[in-house]
Amino acid sequence: MPIFNLNINNKSYSVEAESDMPLLWVLRDLLGLTGTKYGCGVASCGACTVIMDGNAVYSCQRQVGACVNKKITTIEGLSEDGSHPVQQAWQKAGVPQCGYCQPGQMMAAAALLAKNKQPGEDMITAAMSDNLCRCGTYHRIKAAIHIAIEDINK
């Protein structure tokens, strides 16, 4: 079985896995980074969203063999102490109900705000449209994104 060297949360990891193993399972099962959630496995819900080279991607659809030489950030890597503006905004807005989709939601929002510190409503809607929240807290998610925008631009 091949060994892959990965850069995850600014740390180097060597993992032994089949090259077509989804990154999601490498993160959760091989590395113990369980903040990234399994939702559907078919790129329909966004629960498994991570940031790869600055872009929000579904880790369930990325084969580990294609992740070498990429910079990967999981929810655990946004900040060690919960101080990332998106994490703080989620707390201020009281976003989660069940919380299951929230790591993916936060990663999509963090990727958006890293690229554009003042996105308009249409850009926010587009960036978040592929992440489902079964509890329907979309209004709180948008409120949190606006709080994060204010905090980032202070």
Token code pair at residue 72: 């990967």
pLDDT in tens, 120-137: 999 999 999 999 999 999
- What residue ranges define each of the domains in the chain, with the CATH number in brackets? 3-77 (3.10.20.30), 85-152 (1.10.150.120)
pLDDT at 83: 96
pLDDT at 86: 98
Distances (CA, A) of 150 to 21, 80, 144: 39, 22, 10
Whether the predicted model's global pTM rises above the 0.75 cut = yes
- Chain mean pLDDT for the chain: 96
| pLDDT tier at 141, thresholds 50, 70, 90 | very high
Counts for the chain of helices (H) and strands (E), in that order: 6, 5
